[in-house]
Chain A
Amino acid sequence: MDIIQIPSVWALAILLVFGALWVAFGWWLGKKNNSLDDFMLAGRNVGFAFATATAMATWITSNTTLVAPQLTYQFGIWGMVGYSMAALGLILFAPLATRIKSLMPNGYTCGDFIRQRYGRFAWYVFLIVSMFYAFGWLVSLGMAGGILLSALSGIDYYIGMSAILLICVLYTLLGGLRAVIATDFIQTIIILLGVLWIAYVCLQDVGLEKIYSSVSHESPELLNLLFPAAIMFLFNNIFFGIGEIFHSNVWWSRAFAFKKDVGKKSFLLSGLLWFPIPIVTGFIALSAPALNIYPPTADMIGPLVAAKLLGEIGAIFVFVVVFSALASSLDSLLAATSDLLTKDIYKGLINKKASKQQLLRVSKITIVSLGIVTWILCLPRVTTLGELLNFTGAFVASTIWPIVFGLYQRRLNGLYAGLAMLIGTSLGLVGYFTIGFYVAALISCLFSLIICLIGIWLKNANFQWENLNESNKKQAGEM
Chain B
Amino acid sequence: MSISITWFELLINVALGIAVLAPIVLITLVIIDLKKEQLW
Q: List residues of chain A with CB under 8 Å of any chain B CB.
A: 42-43, 45-50, 52-53, 56, 77, 81, 84, 178, 185, 188-189, 192-193, 195-196, 199, 203, 208-209, 212, 216, 220, 223-226, 259, 269, 272-273, 275-277, 279-280, 283
Contact = CB atoms under 8 A, between A and B. Distances in A.
Contacts of B40: 42-43, 45-47, 50, 178
Given A43-B40, A45-B40, A196-B19, A223 B29 contact: no
**Size bracket, chain B contacts:** 20 to 34
A149 B21 CA distance: 30
B3 A279 contact: no
Nearest to B12: A283
16 contacts: A47-B38, A77-B8, A189-B26, A192-B19, A193-B23, A195-B19, A196-B20, A199-B16, A199-B19, A225-B1, A269-B25, A273-B22, A273-B26, A276-B16, A280-B12, A280-B16
A45 B38 CA distance: 9
A224 B3 CA distance: 6
A208 B8 contact: yes
Given A48-B33, A49-B26, A276 B19 contact: yes
B26 A185 contact: yes
A224 B29 contact: no
Contacts of B11: 77, 81, 279
Nearest to B8: A212
Contacts, number: 102
Interface in B25-40: 25-27, 29-30, 32-34, 38-40
Contacts of A279: 11-12, 15
A185 B28 CA distance: 12
A226 B2 CA distance: 8
A140 to B, nearest CB: 24
A212 B12 CA distance: 11
B36 to A, nearest CB: 8
B29 A52 contact: yes
A42 B26 CA distance: 20
B23 to A, nearest CB: 4
A52 B32 CA distance: 13
A226 B3 CA distance: 10
Contacts of B38: 47-48, 259
A280 B19 contact: yes
A276 B39 contact: no
A225 B2 contact: yes
A53 B26 contact: yes
Given A178-B40, A280-B19, A47 B1 contact: no
A46 B23 CA distance: 19
Nearest to B23: A192
Nearest to A226: B1
Tell me which of B18, B22, B39, B40 has the highest count of chain A C-beta atoms within 10 A of its own C-beta: B22
A104 to B, nearest CB: 21
Contacts of B27: 189
Contacts of B33: 47-50
Contact of A49 (B19, B22, B23, B39): B39
A276 B14 contact: yes
B18 A275 contact: yes
Contacts of B3: 77, 223, 225
Contacts of A45: 40
